[in-house]
Amino acid sequence: MKNVNKGELIISLSFFIFSIYFFYLSTQITGPVTMEIGPEVFPEFLLGTIMLLSILLIYNSIKKEIKSRLRITKNVIFSILFLLSYIYLLEIMGLIPLTPIALATYMYAIGIKNWKWLLFATIGISLVLIILFPILMLVPIPRGIGIFREINLIFY
């Protein structure tokens, strides 16, 4: 197992497990008996093929040495954390003050230390967001709850 690329193996195994699980779910779908080909057949065919091909990939990833590696740098983790917290807090806090605070923290964390850039980008991007979506496109972006709702009502 010295040359096995763990990432490749994990992806292939994930596809295999995914296809088995959803294949099982497909068998639970029942359509009208009069149909020649019911709603379960097409997904079953797709998932069955994915299952077979992922076995082939598992074999390949054990047999062949593949050089690619996943780069999970701290900036990728910061990006994931930013997205997770931003999406989660959007319904609670609305765009203001969430967007400037989250953006400034995120950009500082990934390495933008120049305060002029930080200030310009944070205010600029927040303004673009507010003007573009709730004001120009009339998108009902959440305004948050409690005090945050009051704050956001000032802006949009």
The helix or strand, by DSSP H or E, that contains position 118, with its residue range, turns out to be: helix 115-130
Binding another protein (rule: CB under 8 A), the pick from 127, 128, 145, 153 is 128
Decide if residue 1 touches another protein (CB under 8 A): no
Decide if residue 73 touches another protein (CB under 8 A): yes
122 touches 104 (CB < 8 A): yes
Please report the sign of the dihedral spanned by the C-alpha atoms of residue 96, residue 129, residue 124, residue 75.
positive
Q: Per-residue contact track with another protein, 79 to 118, x per CB under 8 A?
A: xx-xxx-xx--xx-------x---x--xx--xxx----x-
Neighbours of 40 (CB within 10 A): 17
Q: Among residues 141, 96, 91, which one has the least CA distance to residue 122?
A: 96
Residue 49 or 150 with smaller CB distance to another protein = 49
Q: Look-up: residue for tokens 């004001």?
A: 135
Binding another protein (rule: CB under 8 A), the pick from 3, 7, 127, 153 is 7
78 touches 109 (CB < 8 A): yes
Residue ranges binding another protein (CB under 8 A): 7-8, 11, 15, 22, 25-26, 29-32, 35-40, 42-43, 46-47, 49-50, 53-54, 56-57, 60, 66, 68-71, 73, 75-76, 78-80, 82-84, 86-87, 90-91, 99, 103, 106-107, 110-112, 117, 121, 125, 128-129, 132-133, 137, 139-142
